[in-house]
Amino acid sequence: MLILTIRTDKPEAEIGLFEDDEKLDYLSWQAHRELAVTIHQKIEEITKNEKIQAVAVFRGPGSFTGLRIGISVANALADSLQIPVVATDGEDWLPQAVDRLKKGENDQLALPEYGAPVKTTPPRK
C-alpha cells in the first residue's frame, strides 16, 4: 500500500512516501507561514504522479494553524481520491498509522489534537 504521510505541527513540515513500512522518499522544509502554499507543491514533488492508496497524518499536539492545514490537506486528499485516512499522535505516530492502515482502518475524517484549549481573540463587541 502506497502511503502519503503528513506532519505539520511545527515550523519544519514533513511529508513522506511509504510502501507499507518501507520509506521510499521523505521531505522536510522550513514552511513557517508558507505552509498553505508549499505543502501542495511538496506533495506533488514527492508523489511524482504515483497513485497514493492511503494518507497518514500527525494529529498533534502542536501548532494550531500547522495542524489545521496539514489535517485539512490529508482529509481533502483522502476524500477526493476515495482512500483511507488515519490520524495518530505520539513519538511513534508513523508506525502506529501504518499499522492501522494495514489493518484496514479508516478514520474517514482526521481530527486534530491541539494539546490545550485553542486560544482565539475575543470579539471586540
Domains present along the chain, CATH in parentheses: 2-102 (3.30.420.40)
Residue 92, helix vs strand vs coil = coil
All three cell numbers of 102, joined, read 494495514
Cβ distance 67 to 73 under 8 Å? Answer: no
pLDDT in tens, 64-114: 899 999 999 999 999 999 999 999 999 999 999 999 999 999 999 999 988
Cβ distance 44 to 27 under 8 Å? Answer: no
Percent of the chain with pLDDT over 70: 98
Q: Distance from first CA to last CA of the chain, Å, rounded?
A: 52
Q: Taking residues 2-6, what's their average pLDDT?
A: 97
